[in-house]
Structure 1
Amino acid sequence: MTEYNDDQYTSKSEQKRDDLALQELGQSLMELKQTEQQRLPLSDGLKKGLEEARRITSNEARRRHSLYIGRLVRESNSDQIEQALATLKDPFRQQRLSNWVDQIAASEQARDADTTLQQILEAYPHGDRQQLRNLTRNALKAKLSDPESATTADKDKFKRERRKLMNYLNQLDKTAPLY
């Protein structure tokens, strides 16, 4: 009598569902821009397949090529790719960045913003600490002590410094590797 090990057995239906999910993951990879694809942990063969997918225009050829991409995803580390893709498409990314800018702007002095700066540098270790501190210092220096009596030039300066800080955080986010 043969015993079946239920831990290793997967039904044909489950295998097909897994293959379909990987094919859909491959299609979502095909829809990404090249700069976004470079941030993902992709194997060389998968990178070449995605590069070739950009040249294919026929619907049927794209469908067949998506099957091929799905197979390449299955052969590579699909869990890591899925996690990186989820991080790339995080809908709360922009909100998190603007919350950090608001926390910095709410600080009285540059030392009060150190915890927020540390959070930013933990999330983006490739960031330049000195540049981040300078942007924070400039934004706090331009901060309005009394918004009602401030001139439009002062208000514009604060907006400009705040925007510089936000742009730097966006740049950090766009260049951060996802693996």
Structure 2
Amino acid sequence: MSFDSSESHDDSPQRPSKTQRKREMQALQALGEQIIALPEGQRAQLPLSDDLLAAVEETGRIRSHEGRRRHMQYVGKLMRREDLDAIRAVFDRFEQERQRHDLAFHKLERWRDRLIDGDQAELEAFIADYPDVDRQTLRQLIRNARSERERGKPPTSARKLFKLIRDTAGV
């Protein structure tokens, strides 16, 4: 009688291998680490159970390396009962907000560079976009930033110019 192993396993449900379960547990622990690393204001936006919140807060009091390792295993175990899709959705929203903020910041940096490197047309374009800007301070900071650049000085005025642009744009 020949024994075909493929036939006997077709009827039984496939259980994840020990390696796969370990990978999943490590992924949950990593997500727990991300939650722990968040500022408290962002952490409050996550849909977490009271047990997990208590465990996350407890993590800050653990000093021993081995104690923290065991505690992270516990956090990973608690993560199995959480709504992971909802948690990941909030993390995605955080990432989108960070990207929007970075894009706005880069736009302001480009404005600063255009104003320092450019001519009167760039200045007029900025004033047209942001009519509430303090024009006298803006012109003075641009002049000072150009002078600092020419003399090889630290970009103190360029930083002040960026701050003025940022405050004017409301970012």
TM range, smaller chain: 0.5 to 0.7
2:154 is the counterpart of 1:163: no
Query: 1:60 — aligned with what?
Result: 66
CA distance in 1, matches of 2:32, 2:56: 9
Looking at structure 2, the residues matched to 96 and 14 of structure 1 have their Cα atoms a distance apart, in angstroms, of: 38
1:142 aligns with 2:133: yes
Structure 1, unaligned runs of 5 or more: 111-138, 145-149, 170-179
Aligned partner of residue 80 in structure 2, secondary structure? helix
Q: By how many angstroms is 1:44 displaced? A: 1.9
Q: CA deviation at 1:152?
A: 0.8
Query: Residue 16 of structure 2 aligns with which residue?
Result: 10
In structure 2, the residue matched to 1:113 is none
What one-letter code is carried by the residue in structure 2 that aligns with 1:152? Answer: Q
Larger Rg: 2
State how many pairs are aligned.
133
Match of 1:96 among 80, 92, 103: 103
Contact 2:127–2:133 at 8 Å: present in 1 too?
no
The alignment yields a C-alpha RMSD, in angstroms, of 3.8
How much identity, in percent, do the aligned residues show?
27
Please give the residue correspondences for 1:1-179 in structure 2 after superposition, counting only pairs within 5 Å: 3-5=11-13, 9-88=15-94, 92-98=99-105, 139-142=130-133, 151-152=139-140, 161-165=164-168, 168-169=170-171
Letter in 1 for 2:140: T
For residue 150 of structure 2, what is the aligned residue in structure 1?
Answer: none
* Partner Cα distance (2:163, 2:30) in 1: 42
Whole-angstrom CA distance in 2 between matches of 1:72 and 1:84: 18
Of stretches 22-31 and 90-99 in structure 1, the one that deviates more from structure 2 is 90-99
Q: Which is bigger in relative contact order (C-alpha 8 A, separation at least 6)?
A: 1
Confirm or deny: 8 A CA contact 1:29 1:37 kept in the other structure.
yes
- The 1:153/1:74 distance shift into structure 2, 3 A limit, reads same
Query: What SS is found at the alignment partner of 1:164?
Result: helix
* Displacement after TM superposition at 1:29 (Å): 2.0
Cα distance change, pair 58–93 in 1 and its aligned pair in 2 (3 A): farther
> CA–CA distance in 2 between the matches of 1:165 and 1:72?
46
Give the aligned partner of residue 126 of structure 1.
none
| Distance of 2:131 and 2:127 partners within structure 1 | 7
Whole-Å separation in 1 of the counterparts to 2:95 and 2:61? 24
Residue deviations 1:116-166 (CA, integer Å, cap 9, x gap): xxxxxxxxxxxxxxxxxxxxxxx333286xxxxx74179899755532255
